[in-house]
Amino acid sequence: MRKVSRLKPLPHEAGLGLLTLALLALVTLLFPQFLAPDNVKSLLDDTALLIMMAVGEMFVLLTRGVDLSVAANAALTGMVVAQFNAAHPQAGVVPVLLIALAMGAGLGLFNGLLVWRLRLPSIVVTLGTLSIYRGCVYLVSGGAWVNSGQMSPAFLDFVRLPVLGLSMLSWIGFGTAGLGWLFLRYSNAGRNLYAAGNNPEAAAYAGIDVGRMQCLAFLLSGTISGLAGYLWTARFGVAYTDVASGFELQVIAACVIGGVSITGGVGGIAGVVLGGLFLGIIKTALPVVGISPFFQLAVSGLVITVAVILNSTVQRKTHGRKILEPAEAAS
């Protein structure tokens, strides 16, 4: 029986990479100044924040959870470190970084414990803590802003420190993605996150505490969000109640576009990075093209919807090929 040759579909990361390059080429063709060095550096800085928070969100999604409080965590942590710096400008950046990491970790751990110990749905827990953390920003600040004039030069300049042509912010953002890749690929805990989300029952039989893995994922997500809170505040030079409001949707979108399954157990850091870059190019290009801000949210929503449909279609086809491959080989 003659075999029919079929072209194998591109891996998701490769397809998304080509799509991102095509989008970049189209925007550059229409507006050559889009690739001006200053514009590229600004794009990378904005995208770095999105990518690092998406990496944290990915850990949670891998365990069949979702963290809606990442942006609120960043806003609360950013306000606290800004107030600390305003009160103690001579302390330097190191205490600020430690406070951001510790506070972000604490807020993430609170989410994780509620999900793990009380067996509550993560979407319900983080929807509640999103509002709690946002409210705490107002309580901590009394509704007042902390502006760049109240922040020390060291606090503001750290994220702009140039290293090999890129800012420290970009290095931290993409470095977070690199550390996330190493964690998922080479650590037992990273592999257990995949197992816990791919088949929780089998993982439990194998001795993996699925609840503990979910708690770890929330802890990691919170830690990264806390760090992003300081970086965000220092980059834009302001801390207020609505910092990063709604940004959690873009974070989840970067994960979904990057191929992370919302049903758990599937996804990779490379896809998340590409998803963040894809969204970053769109966000930067829409104002240049002249699209009204009122339509930008609709365009982003359309991109997310299409990505979800494509991901679910690819996953179904992949499962089907795995079932049919032995039969085709036998023939």
Condensed to tens digits (0 to 9), the pLDDT of residues 182-195 reads: 999 999 999 999 99
Burial of 148 (0-12, 13-18, 19+ CB in 10 A): middle
Place of tokens 């890129």: 166
CATH, domain 33-330, list 2.40.50, 1.10.3470, 1.10.3210, 1.10.3720:
1.10.3470
Q: Which helix (H) or strand (E) holds 239?
A: strand 238-239
Please report the pLDDT score of residue 185 as a whole number. 94
Selection from 95, 73, 86, 87 nearest residue 219 by Cα: 73
Please state, as a whole number, how many other Cβ atoms lie within 10 Å of the Cβ of residue 202: 11
307-328 pLDDT, tens digit each: 667 666 665 554 433 333 333 3
Give pTM, 2 decimals: 0.89
* pLDDT tens-digit map of 71-120: 999 999 999 999 999 999 999 999 999 999 999 999 999 999 999 999 99
Average pLDDT score over residue span 56-80? 97
Instruction: Report the SS3 class of residue 173.
Output: helix
pLDDT digit string, tens, across residues 190-220? 999 999 999 999 999 999 999 999 999 999 9
